[in-house]
Amino acid sequence: MNGRQLLDLFNTSGITILHAIHECSPYALTSGGMKLATAKNYVKLADVLFGTADSPRIQREAVALADERKLSIEFLDMVNKHAKKLKARGAAWKLRAELIAYEGSFEEVDAHAKKRVTEEGGDKPKQPGMKIGRVVDGLRTLSLTADQRKITDLEKTLDAAITDTDKPRSEALLEAFWDFIEGDGTGLITPEYKTVIALGLEQSEQVFGGTGDDVTVGASDGTTLTGAEIVNAAMEGALGDKLYVGLFHPTAGPVNLYEARFASDKLRTLAMAENLVCPWPDCNVPADRCQVHHIDAHKHGGHTKPSNLTMLCKYHNGVNDDAPNGPRKKRKRSSRGRMRRHRGKVRLQTPVGKLVGNTHHVSSMGAMNLI
């Protein structure tokens, strides 16, 4: 049995393994080199699945289905992580059973679980505030939670003040932050937005007709805005001196942008309207900080046209496999997959050919999801 077969066996034997360690001491599991925290987590998970439950029938049926579906320990742990947030009697096991039966990839089930927990009132919303951590190695951490627009305004202001682009972004932002804090404060201004907002036809009629207060849309800085906020920003000139209209085809993707001045700005703006955050799965970098990427590499004959462009963050632009059919021996690293357009939408095609989209909540608000 080779390594891949062993890994497959481990990943399809979650119930079998957890049943075998039920009522074991986590310390007994560490004798083979397992991390104690991992051992404790496995034992707790086994107790949830095979110990006393407030819904024993649902528990038995869900465990049997998990065994039949050959779910991994990692998958079962993810299911339990979400379900245990529900405190009402029987609610946690109902959700575990629902998630175990849910058809989809790990990421799709994870996203569905987050949504269901929120619907059931199990997640407490974040509260505005500031936290200051203790001293560790002469450093302290300051954490600020506030309205998304205020934080984004601050971020854009600091970005505009960065002069050394070779520094890591976190260091450059910190330097700009202290320049403003320790200076005379004149740098703390509301920046002019060049952010792209994706609006569907029906949404645009509501927003600019004055009835779109309840409309929520995504923006290329990774945030969301209500219809009222869009109108207010436009009235204040914060959206620039022009509003651009992008034309998208349901299967071909972006087609053209009207009122743009330069071709490069036109193409970038269309790509940003389509993908408001980097479309690589699980990435949360907003399009404002992404690079324009040729889906079919320019060096291999890919054209600079709307349907062949998308936005990718610097990291994923670098790891994208631009030559998936090239000689393996010439590659410097194993393939992570590549972006491609499928039925009009940009998706990651994994090395085994599976198409995966980004489940970030703003990603689903891009232009191609509005038509």
Q: Output 206 or 36, whichever has higher pLDDT.
A: 36
Using the structure block, give the residue that is written with the tokens 């932002």: 173
Residues 177-204 have a mean pLDDT of 68
- Whether 84 shows a pLDDT value over 60: the answer reads yes
**Global confidence as pTM:** 0.53
Rounded distance between C-alpha atoms, residue 117 and residue 4, angstroms: 35
According to the model, what pLDDT value does residue 328 have? 52
What was the pLDDT predicted at 30? 84
How many whole angstroms separate alpha carbon 137 and alpha carbon 39?
30
Question: Is the model's pLDDT at 192 over the cut of 70?
Answer: no
Q: Where are the alpha helices (DSSP H) in 106-211?
A: 106-119, 148-161, 169-182, 201-208
Token pair of 52 as six digits: 């006393």
Contact 348, 279 (CB under 8 A): yes
pLDDT score at 263: 44
pLDDT confidence of residue 69: 95
Contact between residue 22 and residue 48 where contact means Cβ atoms under 8 Å apart: no
pLDDT tens-place string over residues 257-313? 755 334 467 788 889 999 999 999 989 899 988 988 989 887 788 888 888 899 999
Query: Averaged over 43-56, what is the pLDDT?
Result: 95
Give the Cα separation of 262 and 42 in Å (integer): 57
**What is the SS3 assignment for 136?**
strand
Burial 131-145 (b: 16+ CB within 10 A, else e): eeeeeeeeeeeeeee
248 C-beta neighbours (distance < 10 Å), count: 23
What integer is the mean pLDDT of 321-346?
Answer: 76
Cα angle 276, 363, 321; round to 5: 85
pLDDT for 261: 38
Distance CA 159, CA 189 (A): 12
- Of these ranges, 51-60, 143-152, 155-164, 197-206, the one predicted with the greatest mean pLDDT is 51-60
Least confident of 170-174, 231-235, 334-338: 231-235
Query: Of 194-203, 234-243, 291-300, 354-363, which gets the smallest average pLDDT?
Result: 234-243
Are residues 168 and 176 in contact, defined by beta-carbon separation less than 8 angstroms?
A: no
pLDDT value of position 71: 95
Confidence of residue 332 (pLDDT cuts 50, 70, 90): low
Structure-token pair, residue 62: 């869900």
Residue 79 has pLDDT above 80, yes or no: yes
pLDDT exceeds cutoff 60 at 236: no
pLDDT given for residue 359 in this prediction: 86
Environment class of residue 17 by beta-carbon count within 10 Å: exposed (0-12), middle (13-18) or buried (19+)?
middle
* 31: number of Cβ within 10 Å: 8
Burial class (CB in 10 A: 0-12, 13-18, 19+), 55: middle
Q: What does residue 243 show for φ and ψ, rounded to 5 degrees?
A: -110, 130
Label the pairing between strands 216-218 and 245-249.
unpaired
Burial class of residue 237, CB neighbours in 10 A (0-12, 13-18, 19+)? exposed
**Weakest mean pLDDT among 71-75, 166-170, 248-252:** 248-252
Domain boundaries, the chain: 3-119, 145-182, 201-369
Q: Taking each helix axis from N to C terminus, what angle separates 14-21 and 73-83, rounded to the nearest 10 degrees?
A: 70
Tell me how far apart the alpha carbons of residues 46 and 21 are, in angstroms, rounded to a whole number.
7
The pLDDT score that the predictor gives to residue 333 is: 57
As a whole number, mean pLDDT of residues 207-233 equals 74
